[in-house]
């Protein structure tokens, strides 16, 4: 049963509610009008309740609630995700905060995102809806889980671990094996052998396997298998490889996506169209999960834009730039328009061919830190040292 939830203020956020009530993430009609209305409401919400956001919007000489068309939306000012990494700025009273998530950035900066009940539940419902729509929900069939993420430890609140734990709800779990084992004193270690044994164990059973989490560790596991002359293993075609979070600290070892897909098909027998990557972030909690053609389409509850890295103007399809999102469902903090620290390019839905009509985007890399081509010290280096 799809849960019914309501935003903090039904009247002021009525359009937001109607938008989020849409159960089909990829309708043919994207309902731009409703989206604009929801955005206007969301902007007004934060303008009235958040000092920073009000000053911010005033500094751009924009009044809330005035968006008339998608064109105007495309140029609407976004707030960089880094701001939320380093500042707590609430649009609701602190007592209404239901969940605080931290995310581990590659530069060692930890961000804290605060969610009220509505924001977190609306976001979770979106994940459910997308899973259902993409055929990734399999509540009748038990599965074994290999989670490529941190073993839960009481008191830990890492965003990505939280997500992974949440994602085991789409098929009942027989066994859950975590790749990053807790070794005490707040530390985890990657247990490559344990993972391989778990997979062997799972392969001897007849039920699907669901591998969820950081793609880098899957690659290391497959490498280990090859090095030891193991496999290939053959898993049920209803198995799933669901990756999230990117290669992060292992960026130097990253292999092309097609390569990982091929390797997974070969070593584990999981069919290509059951191999899905996803994009998400603590600062923008709308899920972007790959369609069977490995494209991340934008669901009805958000809009994506690509912004020129120098001018921040919107750029056309196919042109790389900052990835940005509009998400009117966020009520706790003014993250209704967020500029990500990722470089990406966007394409129309028709270019994919899977039948989903909303556009999709490709991540091209991080944007916002650079390896200097010079001997001047860079922010990245100093951050690593200072923390």
Partner 1 sequence: MSTRTLWKGQWKNFDTPEQIAGELERAVSGSLGREVRPKAVLDACQSLGRDLENGRIPELRAALRALGMSENKIEAVIKSIAAVFNPDFLEQKYMRELGSLEPFTARRPDFREPILEAWAPLGVLLHVVPSNSPTVAPLSVLEGLMAGNVNILKNTARNGDFPLLLLKALADADLTGTIASMLFGLTVSSQETVVMNALYEAADGVAVWGGDDTVSAVRSAVGAQVKVIEWGHKISFSCFSRSGLHDKQAMQAVAHDVCVIEQQACSSPQCILVETEDRKQLHDFSHRFAAVLQQVSAQYPQSPPSTAEAAEVTTSTLMAEYEACLGKGEVIADPGGVWRVLVRDNPGLAPSPLYRTVIIMPFARRELTCTLRPYRGYLQTAGLSCAPKEVAELTEALFHSGVTRVVQPGEMLQEYSGQPHDGAYALQRYSRRVSVNRDRDLQNIAGFHDFHEPESLPSDAPIMTKQDFISTEMDHSRAEVYFRSGGTTGTPKASAFSWDDYAEQMAAAAEGLIAAGLDPKNDRCANLYHCGNMYGSFISFWSILEHARAVQLPIGMVDDFAQIAESIVRFRANTILSMPFFAAQLFESQAERLLQYGGIKKVFLSGEHLSPDLQREFCEKHGVSLVRSAIYGSNDAGVLGYACEYCESGVYHVMDRLQYVEIVDVNSDSPVPSGGTGRVVVSTRNRKAQRIRRYDIGDLARHVDEPCPCGRKAPRIRLLGRHGDIFKLGPLLSISAFSRALEKAGYSRNMQIVLSGKGGGRTLLTVRLEQGYFEREQIKAALMEHVPGLDTVVGVKVAEVEIQATPPGGFEINESTGKLRLFIDRRSEA
Which residues of the shown chain bind partner 1 in the complex (CB under 8 A)?
A: 52, 55-56, 59, 79-80, 82-83, 86-87, 309-312, 320, 322, 339, 341, 343, 365, 367-379, 381-382, 384-386
CB of 13 to partner 1, least distance (A): 24
Shortest gap between Cβ of 80 and partner 1 (angstroms)?
A: 5
CB of 65 to partner 1, least distance (A): 19
**Residue whose tokens read 């976004």:** 78
* Cα(382)–Cα(387) distance, integer angstroms: 9
Using the minimum distance from each CB to partner 1, give the nearer residue, 180 or 305: 305
The dihedrals phi and psi of 302, each to the nearest 5 degrees, come to -145, 170
120 or 343: whose CB is closer to partner 1?
343
Minimum Å distance from CB 88 to partner 1?
12
Q: Contact, 222 vs 264, CB < 8 A?
A: yes
Closest to partner 1 by CB, 28 vs 259, is 259
**Least distance (Å) between residue 107 CB and partner 1:** 12
Q: Which is nearer to partner 1, 339 or 356 (CB)?
A: 339
- Closer residue to partner 1, CB minimum distance, 87 or 200: 87
| Nearest to partner 1 of 52, 190 (CB atom) | 52
Q: Return d(Cα 386, Cα 378) in angstroms, integer.
A: 12
Nearest approach, Cβ of 57 to partner 1 (angstroms)?
A: 9
Let me know: does 112 contact 371? Beta carbons within 8 Å: no
CA distance 352 to 158: 34
Q: Which of 88/197 has CB closer to partner 1? A: 88
- The pairs formed by 32-39 with CB atoms below 8 angstroms and a separation of 24 or more are 32/69, 32/70, 35/300, 35/303, 35/326, 35/328, 36/67, 36/68, 36/69, 36/70, 36/73, 38/13, 38/328, 39/67, 39/73, 39/76, 39/326, 39/328, 39/336
CB of 68 to partner 1, least distance (A): 25
> Backbone dihedral region of 22: left (phi > 0), alpha (psi from -120 to 50 degrees) or beta?
beta
Question: Given the DSSP bridges, would you call strands 296-297 and 303-307 parallel, antiparallel or unpaired?
Answer: unpaired
346 SS3 class:
strand
């Amino acid at each position: 049963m799809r849960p019914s939830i309501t935003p903090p203020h039904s009247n002021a956020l009525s359009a937001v509610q109607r938008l989020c009530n849409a159960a089909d993430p990829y309708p043919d009609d994207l309902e731009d009008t409703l989206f604009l209305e929801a955005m206007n409401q969301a902007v007004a919400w934060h303008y009235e309740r958040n000092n920073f956001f009000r000053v911010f919007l005033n500094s751009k000489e924009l009044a809330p609630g005035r968006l008339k068309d998608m064109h105007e939306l495309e140029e609407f000012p976004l707030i960089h995700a880094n701001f939320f990494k380093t500042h707590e700025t609430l649009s609701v009273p602190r007592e209404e905060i239901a969940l605080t998530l931290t995310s581990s950035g590659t530069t060692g900066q930890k961000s804290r995102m605060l969610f009220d009940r509505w924001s977190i539940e609306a976001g979770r419902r979106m994940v459910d809806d997308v899973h259902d729509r993409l055929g990734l929900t399999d509540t009748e069939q038990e599965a074994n889980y290999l989670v490529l993420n941190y073993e839960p430890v009481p008191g830990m609140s890492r965003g990505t671990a939280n997500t992974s734990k949440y994602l085991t709800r789409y098929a009942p779990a027989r066994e859950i094996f975590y790749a990053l084992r807790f070794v005490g004193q707040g530390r985890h270690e990657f247990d490559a052998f344990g993972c391989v044994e778990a997979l062997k164990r799972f392969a001897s059973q007849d039920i699907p396997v669901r591998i969820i989490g950081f793609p880098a560790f899957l690659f290391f596991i497959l490498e280990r298998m090859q090095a030891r002359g193991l496999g290939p293993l053959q898993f049920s075609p209803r198995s799933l490889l669901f990756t999230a979070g990117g290669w992060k600290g292992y960026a130097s070892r990253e292999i092309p996506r097609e390569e990982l897909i091929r390797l997974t098909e070969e070593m584990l027998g999981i069919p290509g169209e059951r191999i899905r990557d996803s994009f998400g972030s603590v600062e923008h909690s709308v899920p972007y999960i790959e369609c069977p053609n490995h494209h991340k389409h934008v669901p009805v509850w958000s809009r994506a834009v690509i912004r020129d890295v120098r001018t921040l103007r919107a750029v056309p399809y196919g042109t790389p730039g900052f990835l940005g999102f509009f998400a009117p469902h966020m009520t706790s903090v003014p993250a209704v328009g967020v500029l990500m620290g990722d470089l990406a390019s966007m394409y129309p839905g028709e270019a994919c061919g899977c039948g989903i009509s909303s556009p999709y985007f490709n991540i091209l890399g991080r944007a916002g830190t650079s390896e200097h081509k010079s001997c001047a010290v860079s922010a990245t280096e100093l951050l690593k040292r200072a923390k």
